[in-house]
Structure 1
Amino acid sequence: MPHWSGQRAIVTNHTESGMTQNAALPRNQLIIAKLGTGALTGGGDQLDEGLIASIAKQVAEIVAAQSQVIVVTSAAVALGRSIIGLKGKGRGVATLQALAAIGQHHLMQSWEGAFAQHGLTVAQALITRSDFTAGRSAVNIRRTLRELLGFGVIPVINENDVVASEELSETLGDNDTLSAALTNLMAADMLILLTDRDGLYDSDPRTNPDAALIHHVDRVTDDILAMAAEMPSELGRGGMASKIRAAAEATSWGTSVVIANGKTPDVLLRIARGEDIGTRFEAWGRRRPSARRRSLGPLFVRGQVVVDEGAATALRRGTSSLLAVGVREVRGEFTTGDIVEILGPDETGVARGAVSYPAGLMRRLAGLHNAEVRQFFEAEDNASATYHGEEMVHRDHLTLL
């Protein structure tokens, strides 16, 4: 049973079963369940309607236990390809967008029919990464999803591939990233990533028959990411590496994550009850109120802020905001609310966070003490600048790296 600690991957591999199937389902929990293309198609070119029916039945049981579920679904492009009989994966962006438009309608019909069998209504929401970087759009997403959940409706979410060309690159953008962003935005209690594999292995099980399943990961490290990079997806756009990055982001905000095989019988119910299935990533970050959450994953970064050693040390404690006096350099162009990466004086990543001020104004504030920041905004020459407080990045809008 391998175990790594210290600066290496912190993982434990064991086979003890967790809670039994007789355990009660949780109440008042929000679960986000993401199903990948591999899970939904079973490696073929057709939707696995039986799996969709099973997932709908399990979600209905969780909802009946007075919890809530958001479904994030992939497979629109794969389904579109199957419907028109197009062979091969490698296509240009325009073709992929057209396939998504064809497949999305049929994909939603499958989900709608499956949930209708249990008296549940679904609502489609198509979202892009840019919706999470625009503050007002993010607030609207959260409000709408809360209303839907309050009505007892099941939100079924996919990326808006038809308009978001950057997401259609076969190496950038995926529903793992989207599900992590939603998890953070909604302050979900658990993120479940269902795929066509049993979880994270210590090597690729397709080429190594002795590959061992890793049951628990306490913290995502470079070792874990390197392990996952060796296991790309054959069907979807994510692969194991994108799932690990999603887990890293969600756990940093205090949400636990499980990667499991969607074909496992009653997989959602068993995970919800606490059974030891797949690979579980333990939550380690400080939970924040959902109203203060933003997705701080690397794909959302718009610039960099270099800080001095004192600021880097204070930020690493996890209880401090970034003040102007600690800022040494501002790189790139960004506006209020955008995500930046905060680097220490040695260029090592310290944190990511949503900025209180645009890049140009932050450059003028860099190095100023709090009193000087207030004086800056009180000056007549700066009357057009809006004061958002002394913090360049508030601690509630930070996640440590």
Structure 2
Amino acid sequence: MAHKRIVVKIGTNLLTEKLCSLRADFISRIAKQIADLRKKGVEVLIVTSGAIGAGCQELNLKKSREIEVRQALAAVGQSSVMRAYHDAFSGYGIKVAQILLTYEDFSNRKRYLHLRKAVDKLISLDVMPVINENDTISVDEIGATFGDNDKLSALVASKVNADLLVMLSDIDGLYDKNPKTNKDAKLIRIVDSITKDIERAAGKSGSAFSIGGMLTKVKAARIALDSGCDMVICNGRKKDILSRAISGKEGTLFIAREKLSNRIRWIKFSRAKGKVIIDKGAEKALREGKSLLSVGIKKVEGDFDRKDIIEINDAAKGISDYSSKELEKIKGKKGKVAVKSGNIVLI
């Protein structure tokens, strides 16, 4: 199929050398390939990593797991990353725009709708969005939220209605075994269903600066596929990788089947503000498409407000009609609908 809007995710391993310096030659090659795609009428967004690694180079510091240090490194390194993209794309007459996001931008429906409008406007102005996690103000351990931006790229693809996510990695795709330790490992070319076997095959791999591994990429694929967006994992170091991956000649292709509505996707993939533990009868009712009643709630966890998204056991997510304090008062009692059936998504 012809792709109209593509998200290209570029990981830390591709962007930076072992000594943290940005790979200008790699960025230049990608810029040329993206420029060629744009000439064909394809809209392209980049989701990038590399800010912390670039910050290490700028400040001549070694890697660190301390969140305050990593926040500072990201603040310094992000400008270097954007400068590298600006320099590479300006040679093709392409302007770039920086967008920094946190999980809240996807959990808050109004904010994510504004994000989509902003992206659409930038593209209409012929500006290419370059998106990264806002590590400097991240309230969680950096990387734990998005996994070297694997999950971020899938969320972005979902929210901007992309039809293909190209995840550039440092290996050729998903193998049936770890190719670094098994010489007989075989590349899986097409995945039409993410099964437990596929997740087991993903395994784990990382580096000094990249927190994501193949497993995070497969989990990200679930998000992309639920939004009707195909996804390719491929080796970003190969020549003409974007055109070859898009045409099905490289990598592992995850094929989307059924597209969930925007609202269901928002509920399913937003971060829950709290959780309720419910009894077996209440969970059975949820699975039958019924609302969650207060009488079925056994325990309330977290601090949340009305209309926040909450987890319901490990079975579902939903939009709560009550705050956590209000649910504490009515749990186990009859007569109240805590979460309406139309606001519940099984997970």
TM > 0.5 fold call: yes
DSSP 3-state at the match of 2:83: helix
Q: Aligned in 2, Cα 1:66/1:314: closer, same or farther, shift over 3 Å? A: farther
1:130 maps to 104
1:338 maps to 308
How far did residue 362 of structure 1 move?
Answer: 6.1
DSSP 3-state at the match of 1:331: strand
2:178 and 2:203 in contact (8 A); partners too: no
Letter of the structure 1 residue corresponding to residue 7 of structure 2: I
C-alpha distance in 2, partners of 1:356/1:179?
31
Q: Aligned in 2, Cα 1:325/1:243: closer, same or farther, shift over 3 Å? A: same
DSSP 3-state at the match of 1:308: helix
1:232 and 1:241 in contact (8 A); partners too: no
How far did residue 357 of structure 1 move?
Answer: 4.9
2:300 and 2:327 in contact (8 A); partners too: no
Match of 2:23 among 14, 23, 48: 48
Letter of the structure 1 residue corresponding to residue 235 of structure 2: N
DSSP 3-state at the match of 1:91: coil
How far did residue 117 of structure 1 move?
Answer: 1.4
2:342 maps to 394
TM (norm. structure 1) is: 0.75
1:76 and 1:103 in contact (8 A); partners too: yes
Q: How many residues align?
A: 341
DSSP 3-state at the match of 1:334: coil
2:82 maps to 108
Match of 2:268 among 255, 274, 296: 296
How far did residue 195 of structure 1 move?
Answer: 1.0
How far did residue 300 of structure 1 move?
Answer: 4.7
C-alpha distance in 2, partners of 1:293/1:337?
16
The alignment status of 1:278 with 2:246, answered yes or no, reads no
| Structure 2: unaligned runs, 5 residues or longer | none
Q: Aligned in 2, Cα 1:173/1:357: closer, same or farther, shift over 3 Å? A: same
Larger RCO, structure (CA 8 Å, separation 6 or more): 1
Q: Aligned in 2, Cα 1:219/1:122: closer, same or farther, shift over 3 Å? A: same
1:256 and 1:280 in contact (8 A); partners too: yes
CA RMSD of aligned residues (A): 3.0
1:187 and 1:288 in contact (8 A); partners too: no
C-alpha distance in 2, partners of 1:272/1:188?
13
C-alpha distance in 1, partners of 2:267/2:242?
25
C-alpha distance in 2, partners of 1:235/1:241?
17
Percent identical pairs in the alignment equals 33
Q: Report which stretch shifted further, 235-244 or 324-333.
A: 324-333
DSSP 3-state at the match of 1:125: strand
Alignment deviations for residues 181-233 of structure 1 (CA, whole Å, 9 cap, x no partner) = 21222222121211111111222222222222222222223333333233334
DSSP 3-state at the match of 1:162: helix
Alignment deviations for residues 354-395 of structure 1 (CA, whole Å, 9 cap, x no partner) = 4455445567598978xx86xxxxxxxxxxxxxxxx962536
Q: Aligned in 2, Cα 1:70/1:326: closer, same or farther, shift over 3 Å? A: farther
Q: Aligned in 2, Cα 1:233/1:302: closer, same or farther, shift over 3 Å? A: farther
| Structure 1: unaligned runs, 5 residues or longer | 1-24, 316-321, 344-348, 374-389
C-alpha distance in 2, partners of 1:192/1:239?
15
TM (norm. structure 2) is: 0.85
1:255 maps to 229
